Structure 1
Amino acid sequence: MTRVAESPPAAPPVGGDRRARVPYPLVLTLLAVAVAAAATAGIAIGSVRLPPGEVWGILLHRLHPALVEPTWPRVRETIVMDVRVPRVLLCAVVGAGLSVCGMALQALVRNPLADPMLLGVSQGASVGAVLVMVFHLSLAGMFTLPLAAFAGAFLALVLVYFLARAGGRMTTVRLVLSGVATGEVLSAVASYLVVTSGDPHKTESALRWMLGGLAGTTWDLVWIPAGAVLLGTFVLLGVSRPLNLLLAGEEAAASLGLNVHRFRAALFVLVALIVGAIVAVSGSIGFVGLMMPHVVRLLVGANHRRALPAVALLGAAFLIVADLAARSVIAPEEIPIGILTALAGGPFFLWLMRRRAAG
């Protein structure tokens, strides 16, 4: 049994085109429509329900007043533009960023079980962010929280990588165990910092933040993670060929001229930057980066040039729907979105483990 568990995982096909079930442009079109439909529902549904046509009318009117004649009360435009649109947009950014990071990590460590939360990256970012929140640090002004979250995410990722790598190779078992153990320790550290802060209001707010949530989103919170996700996604698209080479194995990639260790270190920094910027505004939201890449590979294959745009769209649509469910199930109260993604991702992870064991 041990010998089977310790064997290196088989890499998915690099090209992936033969696995595509439907034409690639059609997949992107359907995913874009899914994002638009989810966003419309996310804006329309709430304590004040709005007709979808009115939602689009408000958006078009704000884009250019001559496009639509306003027939709605002014307060509804305020609800849409100042409350719901920023939240839905941030949901899309966070979902896309976590999905893209999950796909990149799975290629970097050649393990389909890799995920920012399973590898302790999200927990590391949480520790950095909680330190700032508890001790009121402001060394870099408004950038203190994102920078602290980035530093925590990067250090956690480096620690897990070196713990899992032994004898020049990294196995599924060691990677998962190292990530889970590191994540649990970091979660305990973050919880200890929150509980001992001595401020009940701060404790409640931080604990809800650690479970993941996007309540109270404003336009000011959108721009930093949006910039990090857009920049990171474009960079990953630019290095899609080296990512494809890594799926074929380190030896094959090195034989084709790729400096594997330098490339992997640079991509670790990039992933930590994206995750840190996301966690700084959304808290820890798990399993999105695990589930979405596997669904996309079934649709378009493993070629990162094709899969990265698709996984970004799918992740955006998924998290918008998850956030809508989080604020609708027990309205007017909200369920932390991290709880819902864990309820969906836990069974998915177990199914994936059994599928790999059977394979």
Structure 2
Amino acid sequence: MTALDSTSTSAPARVRPRRAWVGVLVGILLVVLAGLSLFVGVSDVSPASVLAGGPDSSAASLLVVSRIPRTVAVVLVGASLGIAGLIMQMLVRNKFVEPSTTGVSEFATLGMLVAIVFAPGMAVVGKMAVAAVFGLAGTWVFLRVVRVVPVRQLVLVPLVGIMLGGVVGAVTTFVAYRLDLLQSLGQWSQGSFATVMQGRYEFVWIAGLMVGVAWLAADRFSVIGLGEEFATNLGLDYRRVVAVGMVVIAVITAAVLVTAGLIPFLGLVVPNIVSLVIGDNVRRAIPWVAGLGAVFVLGCDVLARVVRFPYEIPLSVIVGVLGAAVFLWLLLRRRGRAH
């Protein structure tokens, strides 16, 4: 055996244990942070108080009504937004895109405003459906713009999406201002889990369902990530798979919007970190992206509750700061290889 053969056979052996240890670390962090999320807050909810008071105590009631729903919502939001970003990157074939950098979130927010203006008494599920339709339209518009506008550098694609989102966001803010609806719109556009409780988080399970759809179509998303011509030559219905991906992205964005508001950069940061560890195979990456996304949002949510205790900082502020820092690092890291 030559030295080259020895190197090629030993490299995967070194990589697999590293992946396994990272996976174990993510699982441990998920359990630990979920436990912290259950018992961190202004009200005194601790294992001791729950056990001492019994199932009818105020601590146990608060745990069931508020803390458990909030923790479940945080996990589902982190997992689903990470998957939405992963699918968006496959559709556009660009590592720097996700719903908040392509205008999809802004289109969904515009849909929420339209629902508030024309049907103020509409149920939350109806508003979510309207936001999903607008998010779907936003995904289609972004894909069309990227096809039409000649973008030669990968790092410019998200800038096009950010500009598109800026235009839509400005229109949304202007209309809300003229109609005196800025305060109503603000509760949807500010990412936070402070108001999540039993009866107000169930719609995020729809986002979890979309993660299952993404898992079923994972191999197809991997193929279309190689390009339309390559996918078509393999006999794949490219347009149908893209349509499925667009629906998954739009529904996840809308479900998260009506549950917790806008949470930026999560769908960009998490898939890129996972890609550095295990590569770009979608089926293999989905559990990693879901787990790391849940860990990231759980950590940020706990941090938002303790930084200015007993007050709570909006989650979008923490995620935005950390996500923007990682985004800049990724831009600088890939700048030399962008084409």
Is the structural similarity TM-score above 0.5?
yes
Aligned to 1:176: 158
Aligned residue for 2:232, secondary structure, equals helix
Q: Specify the alignment match of 1:97 in structure 2.
A: 80
| TM superposition score normalised by structure 2 | 0.87
Distance, in Å, in 1 between the alignment partners of 2:148 and 2:15 is: 36
Question: In the alignment, is the contact (CA less than 8 A) between 2:69 and 2:198 conserved in 1?
Answer: yes
Conserved 8 A contact 2:232-2:238: yes
Counterparts in 2 of 1:258 and 1:18: CA distance versus 1, 3 Å = farther
Deviations 1:115-164 (Å, cap 9, x if unpaired)? Answer: 1100111111111112323554345x342111111012111111111111
Instruction: Report the residue type matching 1:158 in the other structure.
Output: W
Q: Which amino acid aligns with 2:98?
A: D
Quick one: structure 1 residues 288 and 21, their matched pair in 2 at CA, closer, same or farther if it must change by over 3 Å? Answer: farther
User: Of 283, 303, 325, which residue of structure 1 is paired with 2:303?
Assistant: 325
1:205: Cα distance to partner? 4.9
What does residue range 9-48 of structure 1 map to in structure 2 within 5 Å?
20=15, 22=17, 26-48=21-43
Distance 1:224 1:208 in 2: 17
Alignment CA distance shift 1:87-1:197 (3 Å) = farther
Task: Find 1:275's aligned residue among 253, 273, 291.
Answer: 253
Residues 189 and 262 in structure 2, CA contact (< 8 A), matched pair in contact too: yes
| Match of residue 197, structure 1, among 171, 179, 183 | 179
| SS of residue in 2 equivalent to 1:22 | helix
**Distance across 1 between alignment mates of 2:65 and 2:217:** 37
Q: Give RMSD over aligned pairs.
A: 2.5
Tell me the CA shift for residue 353 of structure 1. 1.4
Q: Which residue does the alignment assign to 1:216?
A: 195
The percentage of counterpart residues that share the same residue type is 28
| Distance (whole Å) between structure 1 residues aligned to residue 208 and residue 116 of structure 2 | 26
Q: Which amino acid aligns with 1:113?
A: F
- Asked whether 1:286 is paired with 2:268, we answer no
SS in 2 for 1:129: helix
- The TM-score with structure 1 as length reference comes to 0.82
Q: Aligned AA for 1:163?
A: V
- List gaps (5 residues or longer) in structure 2: 1-11
Say whether 1:206 aligns with 2:185.
Answer: yes
Name the SS for the 2:299 alignment partner: helix
CA shift at 1:268, angstroms? 0.8
CA contact (8 A) 2:173 2:182 kept: no
Residues 164 and 174 in structure 1, CA contact (< 8 A), matched pair in contact too: no
**CA-CA distance at 1:23 after TM superposition:** 5.8
Matched-pair contact (CA < 8 Å) for 1:125–1:280: no
Q: State the 1:49 CA deviation.
A: 4.3
- Contact 2:210 / 2:252 at 8 angstroms: preserved in 1? yes
How many residues are matched?
324
| Structure 2 counterpart of 1:345 | 323
Number of the residue aligned with 1:357: 335
